[in-house]
């Protein structure tokens, strides 16, 4: 029904509500971030007219000489219906309504009014009561100052969140984890455009490989519609749901006027339909990173390669906790590995699974172990616990190990402590599309995210 292309990938944008006296106004923040910094051509609008930073301020969107793809509306809620009608008369492609003061504070009639205007004129809008949209290659309409937020690299994960704050948290974590984002959308009250319409759009977006949702609640019947569409989506979907408790449900209602619903029922339906549920934000990050790198597949048996027996034991526990097996390596396969190991560890390395190469292992030992495991048809995924402080490890080992994973088409997931000192080793994996977790548990969770 609605064409969302101009909202998410605009070439021109009007910011309605800029202040001539307060440069910290949300509209000013959005205008300043986009003006001359993104490909989008941006125009400021204020009914008083004038100039801002030597640029003309238009009294109305209808005065702008250019065609406008996207209007950012950041005015008092009572003025939004009037502004929306002007956008429609101008032929604007769609809008993001930053303004709060609608259903979330009891003004349901006002929210219904703008929905009716939009539906009658086939005018799509995101919001109201939302933080905005971040598209790393087109524009940034989040009303937070650039110096106060962290933006991840361009990538292939779309994050759609009812909460603007949760969206920003995920952007920070994506940056820390090296996960690329295709777009981040704060949908707020989702009065018109809801999760299902966004799912339909990003299912066909060539830039997006993974679609992640933070969901607080649905209107009656909306949750079922979402699940029915999601199960037929050709891309993996990760859902993080709040409102799991009675107190959480009340918080959801006061935040975005959503109905949290019966969480246990919703969770069970997701499981039945093969939709991935993240129980917390740590799982969400782990799942998204793995799915950005690999397709989902059947995973039952895990091969573990480590330089530390303790890390290997932890990984085994996590594997069994999450429903995986860690089968012992067959005798003939052990011999193949042992024959090619560094002589100093041949007699002390444990090759059962986990393969513990000990703290005396060098680069070639990890190469030998991973290459031999990658050939085994009874191992579905390799979890590599790489400890950069081992004296025999070099910083380019990750590149060589990445090549093995790609050559044998065997998913490889690495654990490396995330500190600046080991950045080169981490980047060797990340640049070659191999997921890297900062924790042993996270590495196993990545395997869980891939498992059908």
pLDDT in tens, 396-425: 999 999 999 999 999 999 999 998 999 999
Structure tokens at 208: 């997006």
SS3 350: strand
Q: Is the pLDDT of residue 247 over 70?
A: no
pLDDT at 249 over 70: no
| pLDDT tens figures, 299-309 | 999 999 999 99
Residue recorded with tokens 């246990």: 264
DSSP 238: E
Residue 245, pLDDT score:
63
Inter-CA distances, 246 with 23, 225, 250, Å: 41, 24, 7
Averaged pLDDT for residues 293-298: 96
Task: Decide: residue 391, CB within 10 A, 0-12 exposed, 13-18 middle, 19+ buried.
Answer: exposed
Tell me, what's the pLDDT at 272?
A: 92
pLDDT score of 12 more than 90: yes
Is the pLDDT confidence value at 252 over 70?
Answer: no
Measure Cα distances from 360 to 54, 390, 417, 440 in Å.
65, 7, 19, 21
At residue 221 the predicted structure's pLDDT band, cuts being 50, 70 and 90, is confident
* Three-state secondary-structure class, residue 452: coil
Is residue 248's pLDDT more than 70?
no
Q: Which residues of 293-318 are buried (b: 16+ CB within 10 A; e: fewer)?
A: bbeeeebebbbbbbbbeebbebbbeb
**pLDDT single digits (tens) 40-74:** 999 999 999 999 989 999 999 999 999 999 999 99
pLDDT digits (tens, 9 = 90+) for 144-171: 999 999 999 999 999 999 999 999 999 9
Dihedral sign for Cα atoms in the order 413, 417, 420, 422? negative
Span 278-290, average pLDDT: 97
Residue 347 has pLDDT above 90, yes or no: yes
Domains, the chain, ordered by start: 1-123 (3.40.50.720), 150-293 (3.40.50.261), 296-450 (3.40.50.261)
Provide, rounded to the nearest whole percent, the portion of the chain with pLDDT above 90: 90
Strand order in the sheet with 12-16: 41-45, 12-16, 70-73, 94-97, 125-126
Q: What is the pLDDT of residues 170-215, one digit of tens each?
A: 999 999 999 999 999 999 999 999 999 999 999 999 999 999 999 9
pLDDT score of 255: 47
pLDDT value at residue 264: 86
Tokens of residue 411, six digits? 């998913």
What b/e sequence results for 13-37 when a residue is b if at least 16 CB atoms lie within 10 Å of its CB, and e otherwise? Answer: bbbbbbbeeeeebbbbbbbbbbbee
Strand ranges (E), 93-138:
94-97, 125-126, 133-135
Helix (H) or strand (E) holding 449: helix 440-450
Averaged pLDDT, 221-250: 84
CA distances from 187 to 35, 75, 94, 117, 184 (A): 23, 17, 14, 18, 10
Q: What is the pLDDT of residue 243?
A: 78
Q: What mean pLDDT do residues 384-391 have?
A: 95
Contacts of residue 134, defined as CB under 8 A and 6 or more positions apart, other chains included, come to 140, 141, 142, 151, 167, 171, 181, 183, 184, 185
Question: Residue 408 burial (CB < 10 Å; 0-12/13-18/19+)?
Answer: middle
**Average of pLDDT values for 101-123?**
97
Name the pLDDT band for 132 (thresholds 50, 70, 90): very high
In this prediction, residues 382-404 reach a mean pLDDT of 95
């Amino acid at each position: 029904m609605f064409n969302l292309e101009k909202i998410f990938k605009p070439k021109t944008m009007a910011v309605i509500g800029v202040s001539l006296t307060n440069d910290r106004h949300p509209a000013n923040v959005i205008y300043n971030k986009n003006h001359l910094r993104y490909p989008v051509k941006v125009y400021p609008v204020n009914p008083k007219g004038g100039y801002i930073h030597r640029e003309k301020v238009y009294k109305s969107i209808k005065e702008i000489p250019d065609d406008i793809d996207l209007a950012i509306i950041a005015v008092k809620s009572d003025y939004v219906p009037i502004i929306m009608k002007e956008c429609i008369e101008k032929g604007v492609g769609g809008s993001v309504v930053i303004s709060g003061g609608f259903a979330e504070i009891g003004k349901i009639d006002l929210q219904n009014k703008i929905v009716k205007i939009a539906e009658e004129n086939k005018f799509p809008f995101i919001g109201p009561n939302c933080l905005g949209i971040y598209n790393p290659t087109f524009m940034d309409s989040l009303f937070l100052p650039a110096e106060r937020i962290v933006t991840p690299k361009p990538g292939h994960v779309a994050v759609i969140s009812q909460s603007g704050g949760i969206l920003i948290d995920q952007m920070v974590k994506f940056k820390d984890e090296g996960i690329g984002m295709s777009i981040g959308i704060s949908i707020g009250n989702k009065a018109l455009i809801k999760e299902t319409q966004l799912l339909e759009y990003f299912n066909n977006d060539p830039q997006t490989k993974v679609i992640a949702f933070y969901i607080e609640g649905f209107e009656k019947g909306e949750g079922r519609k979402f699940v029915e569409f999601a199960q037929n989506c050709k891309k993996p979907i990760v859902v993080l749901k709040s409102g799991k408790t009675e107190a959480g449900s009340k918080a959801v209602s006061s935040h975005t006027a959503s109905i949290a619903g019966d969480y246990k029922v919703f969770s069970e339906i997701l499981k039945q339909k093969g939709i991935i549920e993240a129980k917390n934000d740590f799982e969400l990050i782990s799942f998204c990173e793995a799915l950005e790198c690999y397709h989902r597949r059947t995973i039952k048996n895990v091969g573990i390669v480590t330089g530390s027996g303790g890390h290997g034991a932890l990984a085994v526990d996590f594997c069994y906790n999450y429903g995986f097996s860690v089968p012992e390596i067959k005798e003939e396969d052990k011999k193949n590995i042992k024959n090619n190991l560094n002589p100093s560890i041949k007699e002390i390395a444990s090759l059962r699974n986990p393969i513990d190469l000990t703290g005396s292992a060098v680069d070639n030992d990890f190469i030998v172990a991973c290459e031999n495991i990658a050939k085994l048809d009874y191992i579905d995924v390799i979890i590599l616990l790489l400890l950069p402080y081992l004296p025999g490890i070099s910083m380019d080992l990750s590149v060589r190990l990445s090549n093995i994973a790609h050559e044998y088409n065997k998913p490889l997931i690495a654990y490396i402590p995330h500190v600046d000192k080991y950045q080169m080793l981490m980047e060797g994996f990340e640049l070659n599309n191999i997921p890297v977790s900062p924790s042993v548990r996270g590495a196993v969770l990545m395997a869980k995210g891939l498992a059908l």
